[in-house]
Amino acid sequence: MLRILYEKPMHGYQLLEEIEQRSCGLHKLEPGSIYTLLRRMEERGLLESKWEKVEGGPDKRVYTVTKHGAEALRIGLKSIIRRQALFEDLARFYKEHFEKEEGGEE
């Protein structure tokens, strides 16, 4: 959620659709849950929101990542990169030590 909102501020329903699209349908959140998460993130200072007027429709609350939220995103992504290096090392180990054994059993 932070990454998507960092790229482009948006309202909750738009975020809901974006998450589903980017995850190829694997992550489908209910509208009630996404708004609960957005409120909690705002309470923690990760997001801020402003009401946006919409002609011919109800106003929408648009969420934007704060400096604190951008720092949390940076730290989270750095952690993912470290984990990725670990997984790559484990995959190399698997290929070197076990992939040959499995290939012979087919």
Q: Give pLDDT, residue 60.
A: 94
Distances (CA, A) of 51 to 12, 43, 87, 90, 103: 12, 17, 42, 47, 59
Provide the 8-state DSSP code for 105. T
pLDDT of residue 103: 59
**Considering the entire predicted model, what is its pTM?**
0.78
**Using one digit for the tens of pLDDT, what is the confidence trace for 82-95?**
999 999 999 999 99
Domain annotation for the chain: domains and CATH numbers: 2-104 (1.10.10.10)
The tokens for 98 are: 């076990």
Judged against a pLDDT cut of 90, whether residue 102 lies above it is answered with: no
Q: What is residue 27's predicted lDDT score, i.e. its pLDDT?
A: 87
- Taking the C-alpha atoms of residue 5 and residue 7, their distance in angstroms, rounded to an integer, is 5
Q: Which two tokens stand for residue 55?
A: 């002609």
Digit-coded pLDDT (tens) for 9-53: 999 999 999 999 999 988 888 888 999 999 999 999 999 999 999
pLDDT at 55 exceeding the cut of 80: yes
